[in-house]
Chains A and B, each alone.
Chain A
Amino acid sequence: MSTTNVNMPLILGGSVYPFNRYRDGSHWRDWVRQAGTDALVDAGLEPRDIDAVIVASETDFLNLQVNPAPVVLGELGLAGRPVVRVEGGGASGGLALREALAQIMAGLYRRIMVVGFDAAAGHLEAGDVQLVYGLSFDAETDGMAGATAVTLYALSINEYMGKYGVAPSQFAHVSVKNHGNAIGNPWAHKPMEITVEDVLTSPMIASPYRKLDCSLASDGAAAVVLSHPDVAPSAERPRSRIAGSGVSSDYARLGDRATRHEFRAKREAAQAAYEMAGIDDPTHEIDFAEVYDAFTGAELQSLEALRLVADGQAAAALADGIFDADGSLPVNRSGGLIGQGGVPGATGIAQAISMDRLLTGRYPGQAPNELHRCGVIDAHGGICTLAAVHVLERLDP
């Protein structure tokens, strides 16, 4: 790994309003306000230190607020700051990081807060959320015909299973691992100990995916502060920086793709991020991965697209424990979308915060001597229609 660009932004701090299903009367503005306030504390900054804000949220259908960015500024005590709202489905948070990185590297602003949120769980009825999410694909030809997220992911993983001879019992372990990892994450929606048998006997949703193969739709928010290294306050602790960033896209319709069992956009985004970070061999140079596990099989498809394991080999590596919390390449130590939960606007930002803490030795329950150099975070929208991949690297004081 040999990043030479000295303008790559540092992560000064961040925080997450715990992902959950809130029916306690709290509003997404409350979640954003708390996450932003806590992020500034973690960064050791005051609101006056923030030059600009990037806001990520997936859809105003969920939040009943059109043009939410100025509202977010008001909640954060940052009224009047320059702000851009970013939306790309589940990739929204990752794209917001990308936008902040671009603005800092272009010299537009020096310190940027990136804030993501969505009220995806406790407000609309489940059937209505399903209808809204069905419009995340080609709404005309697919969404109106009845396509939902789980249906399209199921059609994709069925082709993967046919190509590589993988069975549902093999990717069920992703659910066991990620729900278990979430137990150590105070921000997680569904921390729990389960077995492969629990996954395989949970209700069928869309064959082959059962209920415990599916990620969670959650409420919540996350905020992270990025800074040009020249204006970062001095620190005695390690920090992380964004060392690489890549974005790519695929046909909106799954059926238009020549190969539907793999995530081509993610492969291209990862390649761009790795090149920027100077990574030649991700299998050996990446220490942690937080990947977009919308469904158990999607974690395997993502790991292969990220080149963290050879094509068709993810299930075998999973069975060998390589991706466990104590394995050689822990994947979704946070619990991922399956254990931590899925807040489309916030997920990519929460991934960056978890990875920052893992790399700087600040993650809950992390052993004092557990020091790692490099991690990759990965968010996508649609059925990997839009992918954003970032590489984070630890910098010692």
Chain B
Amino acid sequence: MTETRLPMELSLRYDHSLGELAPYFNALGKGRAMARRCVACGRVWFPPHASCPDDSQPCEWLELDGTGTIVSVSKIRSRLPFAETDQDHVFALVNMDGADNAAFARLATSARNASPRVRVRLVASCGEKEHPAQSAVFECLEEEI
């Protein structure tokens, strides 16, 4: 009998570089929000861009206070990249105070029932993350709970 399907295990090791946005990623896990502001148009990006996508001008670092407002929410059971198992997650777009865009982020367990217009803040995340982008986790501000 001729075999027509072959199960194959593929495994990749990838030494990943964070590039010019490394300060943003490294600050996330500490609960600090590093943004970049275009020196020409003044637009503030969080997550940042190395140079402004609108006018290609350089951007400079600035630190935001880590608070923001939810603009959209979706609940999903999924596996984060490189994680072993599926888990329940609440993902959101969060417009940070002082930023002109919105960040894709996870909401902490304590904020699972948050909805648009709820105020949140970036939290210092614990534990090892496969990629520092997974440290973009927000919880509700106390006065909104």
Q: Which residues of A contact B (CB under 8 A)?
A: 23-26, 127, 130-131, 134, 138, 140-148, 150-152, 154-156, 158-159, 162, 204-208, 251, 253-257, 260
B13, chain A: closest CB distance, angstroms: 16
Instruction: Kindly count the residue-residue contacts between A and B in the assembled complex, taking CB atoms under 8 Å apart.
Output: 105
B136, chain A: closest CB distance, angstroms: 5
| A159 with B45, Cβ < 8 A, contacts A130-B79, A145-B104, A146-B81 known | no
Which B residue sits closest to A251, measured CB to CB? B53
B103, chain A: closest CB distance, angstroms: 6
Which B residue sits closest to A22, measured CB to CB? B5
Contact of B75 among A147, A162, A207, A260 (CB under 8 A): A207
Q: Taking the complex as formed, is B40 at the interface, i.e. its CB lies under 8 A from any CB of chain A?
A: no
Tell whether, in the assembled complex, residue A254 and residue B81 are in contact, meaning their CB atoms are under 8 Å apart: no
Q: Taking the complex as formed, is B111 at the interface, i.e. its CB lies under 8 A from any CB of chain A?
A: no
Most buried by B among A143, A144, A151, A253: A144
Tell whether, in the assembled complex, residue B53 and residue A146 are in contact, meaning their CB atoms are under 8 Å apart: no
C-alpha gap A159/B93 in the complex (Å): 10
22 contacts between A and B (CB under 8 A): A24-B4, A25-B5, A26-B4, A141-B133, A143-B81, A144-B130, A144-B131, A145-B131, A145-B133, A145-B134, A146-B106, A148-B78, A158-B74, A206-B76, A207-B73, A251-B53, A255-B101, A255-B104, A256-B45, A256-B53, A257-B101, A260-B72
A86, chain B: closest CB distance, angstroms: 23
Q: Taking the complex as formed, is B105 at the interface, i.e. its CB lies under 8 A from any CB of chain A?
A: yes
Within 8 A of A (CB), among B47-71: 47, 53, 71
User: Which 3 A-B pairs have CB atoms at the shortest separation, nearest pair first?
Assistant: A25-B4, A255-B102, A154-B74
A319, chain B: closest CB distance, angstroms: 24
C-alpha gap A147/B73 in the complex (Å): 12
Across-interface contacts of A24 in B (CB, < 8 A): 4
